[in-house]
Each structure stands twice: as structure tokens, then as C-alpha cells.
Amino acid sequence: MPRKRKASRRSRGTVGQVGLGIMGGAFARHLLAAGYNVVGYDVAPAAIRALTRAGGHAARSCADVAARTRIIITSLPSPAAMEEAYFGKQGIPDGARPGTIVIEASTMTLELKESLRRRLARKRVILLDCPISGTGAQAAAKDIAVYASGERRAFDRCRRVFDGFARSTYYCGEFGIGSKLKFVANLLVTIHNLSTAEAMVVGEKAGVDLGLLYRVISDGAGASRMFQVRGPMMVRGRYTPAHMKSKIYQKDIDIIRAFVRRLKCPTPLFDGSVPYYTAALRQSFAMEDTAAIHSVLRKRAGLRGSIPGRITRKGR
């Protein structure tokens, strides 16, 4: 006798996803696991295939995504990609109905996001500014925070959606505050990533096993989230798979630099960090994780060859 199929869990609704890369693909998988139908589009066919294998539904265009849902998440890598997704041929407004909410989760300039908000408002589409704090690996583990800003009623309508793909969500106030907080967070990430690399190189020069250094420092006052996230890559001396590709992160560095210059605010630690990221790009680490600044420091310290250490369980 054939087994009876279990009754499928009732859907919590449909969410659109435009951009199915490292971050957007992770959002989609978590929303599917939380019981949502996900309709997605990406310019990369492989990303769309990954969505359908996970149980999502492929859309033909950004407009098709908008026509099939009232809440859309966008996670896109560049201003050009955003312009195409929103206002290119078959862009989001071409399919969106009045009252549709777009959760914009990318890290972009305030000027670009404000321009998108105004242009969408003419179509009676609501844009929320909701950048993400966390790496691609953290997104895959549902270990990210959302800094949401914009119309409060629209945010409240999306609250359960945020819970479906993020560890925590903060409503930060008027449109743009979320991005300002993200710029501050990324300023710290830029500094802490370099401080982690610096600590690893100092330890190696001093003859300390880096696996031991990682375990001990992670449990003490000197730890940071970047030490915990990127320290293991530095211990191995391998910076793939990338949580954040160096080439893409350069865009974030440029955004922060322009932002603080407009504020006329001194940022000595951030300014001192930037040349190491530039050096990583020049040394062919563009497609590897930003942890590759560790290799830049090792080279400047005169270190060569394999790295002395591996991560083991506590106490071993």
C-alpha cells in the first residue's frame, strides 16, 4: 500500500525576491523554510535554477515578480543593477500595483535610494530602506540584522517577512536612517577586519600557533565579530568561498568615504585601513573574501609559506 503524503503546510503568503546572489539567495531559502512562497528573478540563470531547486518559483522579469506579490525584497550588487531592476525594461514598477512594498536591502548611497523612493512614489509603490548587517555566510545561517527605515505602517506589514530571513530587525525611523546606521556598521567592519589580520600577523611573527591564537583571543576581551567570522579564514590562509568579495566591498568603502567627507568628520582608523583593501585588489584578490588583507599584511611582514596553525576544538 502506498504511503499517504503528509499534508503540506499552509503558505504564509508570497514574497518576491529580485537578486538571488549570495545574500538574496539566502533570504529566499530562509523564507521558503519559514513557509512562504517565493517568486524570484535574477539576471543569472544559475541563480534562478538554485531558487527552483529549493522550492521557489522563477519569474520572467522584475515586472513579473511585482505582478505576483505585494511585498518584494531587492538585494543587488551595483547602482547599474538597481537602475535596471527598477526602471529598466520590465522593471519593478511595470508590474507593481498601488500599495506594493519594496524592501530595499542593498548597501547603496542615500542619494540613490532617495531617488528610487521618489520615483516609485509616483507609481504609489512604497520603498523601505533596509540594509543588512552581516556577511554572506551569516545570511546563510540566518544570523543577520536588518536596519529598517521608512514608512512605519509599511514596516509593520513586513514584520513577519523580516522574521523569516533575519535574526533581528530594528525599526530605525525615517527613510535613510537605516543606511546611515549601515555606513557606521561597515566603517567598523572595515577597521575590525584589518585589526584581525594585524593580530594574526603579529602572532605569527611571534611564533604563536594561529589556531591557538584564534581559540584564546575569541574567548577574551580582544575579540570582535569580525575576528570570529574572518579569523578562521586567516588561520587557514584561504579566503574562499568569499563571504564578501573584495571587489564588491570596494563599493561599500567608497560609499562610506563619501558619506564621512560630506559630514566633515575625522575617521583616522577607517582612513588608515583603506590602503590595505586597495592593495588586496591590486594583488589579484578581487574575487576573494576581504579577509585577503591578511595576505597583504603577511607579505609586508616578510612572512612566506604555509601558516603555522589550524583550528581545533576547545581544549585540544
Q: What is the mean pLDDT of the chain?
A: 93
Q: Give the three-class secondary structure for 166.
A: coil
Dump pLDDT digits (tens) for 37-95: 999 999 999 999 999 999 999 999 999 999 999 999 999 999 999 999 999 999 999 99
Catalytic (active-site) positions: 182
In which band, very low, low, confident or very high, does the pLDDT at 10 lie, cut at 50, 70 and 90?
low
Sequence ranges of the domains in the chain: 14-175, 180-300
In which band, very low, low, confident or very high, does the pLDDT at 305 lie, cut at 50, 70 and 90?
confident
Give CATH for domain 14-175: 3.40.50.720
What's the confidence (pLDDT) of residue 11? 74
CATH class of the domain comprising 180-300: mainly alpha
Q: What are phi and psi of 110, to 5 degrees?
A: -60, -35
Q: What are phi and psi of 15, to 5 degrees?
A: -125, 135
Q: Are 71 and 40 in contact (CB under 8 A)?
A: no
Dump pLDDT digits (tens) for 228-273: 999 999 999 999 999 899 999 999 999 999 999 999 999 999 999 9
Relative orientation angle of helices 246-263 and 177-205, to the nearest 10 degrees: 120
